[in-house]
Amino acid sequence: MESVVTLEFHFPSSWAFEGTVDVLWCDRGNEVSYGRLSQGSSMPRDTYEGHTWLVREAISREVVCAVVARRPDAPGRPQLVTIGAHDGSDPLRTAVCALGRAPHELLVQSVPVLSKLLENICRAPHEPKYRTLRLSNPTIRNTLETPGALALLRFSGFEERPECGQLALEAATPLRNLEDSLAQLQRMRALLQGLPPPKESLHSLRTGVDAANASSSTSNGRPDEPSHRCSKCSKGIHNDLRRALAGNGEVGGWRSHDFVGTGEFRYHCGACDQDLCSACYDMYKAGNTRVHPPEHFGSIEIVAPITTPWGGNGYGVPPAPPPYNPRNRRGPWG
């Protein structure tokens, strides 16, 4: 007999997340809403041991946290779920949450400064002056007094040089962490202005994805687990739905209507055996050498999506992607 468990959802105030979230119970792939929760409030919900619950932002639909109900240590005691909490294992999440708890008057000054610092590096990664921050600069000093600001810069790759009174980012430091930090700053900047956050801007935060994957519901009808991942941005690429649905690689016996949704093109480099998503390939083709080595351009193979058990897309010969358009950054699906 399943044990009844009480989940106590608590949503502390934070500028790292939207002001309202949906509390959802995962019922065999369907997400059933059990109400909305605003920052600074709590909500108890009775459930059964082993059931999965998700918390999504009301507008962006990003998963803020996921939890699996477990038997309480003491009878009658609820299982406390603090929305947006973290265990300290993810330095980016730790920094963003600390920054989000700072007072509004500090954030409206520090977040634009931090965003500008990181944007300059992304725009001109080989410019030395953007990689060095003087701690004697009043603007920098005041910005670093905001909780979480220094931790965010450290995660981005900056190292302290006390003897020089500087924070420096070495030229050889990869920019992946810095780009993730910038995405979170842009998200927080939108929330501070009362605007909806950019879509998929929480992808770099670890939000209990293992529990979230227990829900097989997806917004586009594809399986949750992608068949490939982009070597640059780590975004999932739903290129071969056979692998995603089979799990063990076996596809025999499936019928065409077992496959739902649409696939995505992937761009496979035969020289280094890595894949790129459509967005990163567009940047690579436009000349961004930070995406992939330029000498590998001739080794890129365009792999059309596979959405049928027999290895095609259901419409005969897999189509080639549309012509490249430098103004289209969303890839071949428009």
Place of tokens 């992937």: 266
CA distances from 63 to 50, 59, 313 (A): 19, 11, 30
Mean pLDDT highest for which of 187-191, 201-205, 270-274? 187-191
C-alpha span between 179 and 191 (Å, rounded): 19
Sign of CA dihedral 323, 328, 330, 333: negative
- Can you give 62-76 as a three-state secondary structure string? CEEEEEECCCCCCCC
Helix 91-100 and helix 149-156: axis angle, to 10°? 150
Residue range 236-261, pLDDT digits in tens = 788 876 654 444 333 333 333 344 44
- 212 CB contacts (<8 Å, ≥6 apart)? 52, 54, 63, 66
C-alpha span between 120 and 112 (Å, rounded): 12
Tell me if 117 sits within 8 A of 137, measured CB to CB: no
- Classify residue 164 by its DSSP letter: T
Per-residue pLDDT, 290: 82
What backbone phi and psi angles, to 5 degrees, belong to 54?
-120, 155
Both tokens of 160, joined, read 């302290």
Tell me if 111 sits within 8 A of 188, measured CB to CB: yes
Q: Which residue has the higher pLDDT, 144 or 237?
A: 144
Q: Does position 89 have pLDDT exceeding 70, yes or no?
A: yes
Closest CA to 114 of 173, 154, 84, 86: 154
274 SS3 class: strand
Output helix, strand, coil percentages for the chain, rounded to the nearest 5: 30, 20, 50
- 76 CB contacts (<8 Å, ≥6 apart)? none
CA distances from 151 to 105, 175, 208, 225, 324 (A): 19, 16, 22, 32, 40
Residue range 256-289, pLDDT digits in tens = 334 444 678 889 998 888 899 888 888 888 888 8
Q: Which residue has the higher pLDDT, 315 or 192?
A: 192
Q: Cβ–Cβ contacts within 10 Å for residue 186, how many?
A: 17
Residue range 39-76, pLDDT digits in tens = 999 999 999 988 999 999 988 888 888 899 988 777 77
Across the range 179-194, mean pLDDT stands at 91
Bridge partner residues of 30 (DSSP): 27
Rounded to the nearest 5 degrees, what angle is found at the Cα of 278, between the Cα atoms of 270 and 171?
A: 75
Per-residue pLDDT, 309: 53
Closest CA to 204 of 92, 72, 37: 92
